[in-house]
Amino acid sequence: MITPINQEEKNRARDGMRVISARQSQSRWRLIWLLVGPGILVMLGENDAPSMLSYSATGSQFGIGFFLPFVVLTFLMAFVAQEITVRLGAVSKTGHADLIYRRFGRFWGNFAMVDLLITNVMTLITEFVGIVAGAGFFGIPAWIAVLAALVLIVLTTVFRQYWRWERMTLALALFNLVFIPVAFMVHPPWGQVAHAFLEWSPLPGGMNGNTLIILLADIGATITPWMLFFQQGAVSDKGLSIRDIRYSRFDTALGAFLAALAALAAIIATAPLFIHHMNAGQYGAAQFAQALQPYAGPIGPTLFALGILEAGLVAAITISTSSAYAFGEVTRQAHSLNRPFSEARGFYLILLLVAAISGSIVLLPGFPLESVVIVVNVVAVLTMPPAIGFLLLLANDREIMGKHRNTMLLNILGIGVGVFVSLAGIVYAMTVIIPGFKL
């Protein structure tokens, strides 16, 4: 008996034929165009609302100095983790949660999914904080901003094809680069910027509690568990294979480069607030954008607010999708953007449900917008070590990866990322347990 081909297989086969055609015609640029996407999306998606607000808080509190090269370092660490994720997806042709479920059992599979869903809802709340903050700059009421964001998330799913979803989200994600012109508009001291990279300045004021929270927030702005689940799920849904690993690695590197530029631009753009001792911590009223007006003119603050709004929208789309991928993988239900709603109800319902719950929470009266933004990035750091552990175990599994398993160098780099993030969490715990603790 011949099993009928479903819509997911038809869409993936159609995309695969276009890739084969590009290879046969030796059209490298067309091949790159067809294969890039997940890497750029995951990196620019992680340049989300809380991340850009964390970078802005960094610039306004510490100016230009230690944190510029530090942020570059965090993106290098993110590339190491996501490169491993790319190979896992291309070789196994399945999602991250599914691999954990298959290799470590139902308990750890469910643990990974529940942990991801909880942290994703927390992160999604901050995305809607950013959406409300960015929209608030233009006088748009919070409830309208949340409703419009939810409508956009629904619209991205109606195409019933991963390729179209990816291109639409990718076009929106590129607006994250609007922070770059804002950085130029404030006329920063470029000599000081160059000096920050040539001679890494010490932490201003040492490692006190406030500095450590910003440090952790900037790490959490770059490396989070949802990125592993999203990119591996996207690589699988896109139908990428072992032959595509080289292009996917380029895709991820390009995404890290673009996201790092936007992050550095946010720090540089808000550095004048540090020089003039201005407090711009009230994210709910888009105070960062308003405070920049004397230094960036009328256009700069508008672009900044649009950037925060865009960052929240893109992350809301990608993080909701990562939740749906994990749910579908662990529950063994259909989980693909190539399927219509009738064939993947659980997948789409989870995607929309986590977004709707998160957006509704932001609208609660008295919700602490300011504190949640930084705290969520800190929580992301504290939940990352177990995720790195699973990632490295899977990447070294000979049965899954074969000759594409981690090399010794990649293991050293991966372990280094895990140790760095773990130490950051330990130091943070010490500051909580021991009052007055300082490095």
More reliable by pLDDT, 213 or 354: 354
C-alpha 254/C-alpha 300 separation (Å) is: 26
At 28 the pLDDT is 82
SS3 percent helix, strand, coil of the chain, rounded to 5, is 80, 0, 20
At 439 the pLDDT is 55
More reliable by pLDDT, 378 or 263: 263
Q: How confident is residue 40, by pLDDT bands cut at 50, 70 and 90?
A: very high
Contact 336, 347 (CB under 8 A): yes
DSSP letter, residue 403: G
Contact 194, 366 (CB under 8 A): no
What's the predicted TM-score (pTM) here?
0.88
Quick: pLDDT tens for 421-432: 777 766 665 665
At 1 the pLDDT is 45
**Domains in the chain: boundaries:** 41-433
Q: How confident is residue 205, by pLDDT bands cut at 50, 70 and 90?
A: low
Percentage of the chain with pLDDT > 70? 86
C-alpha 297/C-alpha 303 separation (Å) is: 11
Q: What are phi and psi of 4, to 5 degrees?
A: -65, 145
H helix or E strand, kind and range, residue 16: helix 7-24
From first CA to last CA, the distance across the chain in angstroms is: 69
Mean pLDDT of 316-334: 86
Contact 229, 326 (CB under 8 A): yes
- Superfamily of the domain at 41-433: Amino acid/polyamine transporter I (1.20.1740.10)
Tell me the pLDDT of the chain averaged across its residues: 83
Mean pLDDT of 392-417: 88
Quick: pLDDT tens for 231-283: 998 888 888 888 889 999 999 999 999 999 999 999 999 888 876 555 444 44
Contact 330, 66 (CB under 8 A): no
Amino acid at 374: I
H helix or E strand, kind and range, residue 173: helix 162-173
Of 231, 256, 218, 239, the residue nearest 86 (C-alpha):
231
Dmax over CA atoms of the chain, in Å, equals: 75
H helix or E strand, kind and range, residue 73: helix 67-92
Place of tokens 């929309």: 352
At 159 the pLDDT is 74
Q: Where are the beta strands (DSSP E) in 57-198?
A: none
Q: How confident is residue 208, by pLDDT bands cut at 50, 70 and 90?
A: low
Mean pLDDT of 69-91: 92
Instruction: State the burial class of residue 312 (Cβ atoms within 10 Å of its Cβ: 0-12, 13-18, 19+).
Output: buried
Contact 212, 434 (CB under 8 A): no
Contacts of residue 401, Cβ cutoff 8 Å, sequence gap at least 6:
87, 88, 91, 92, 394, 395
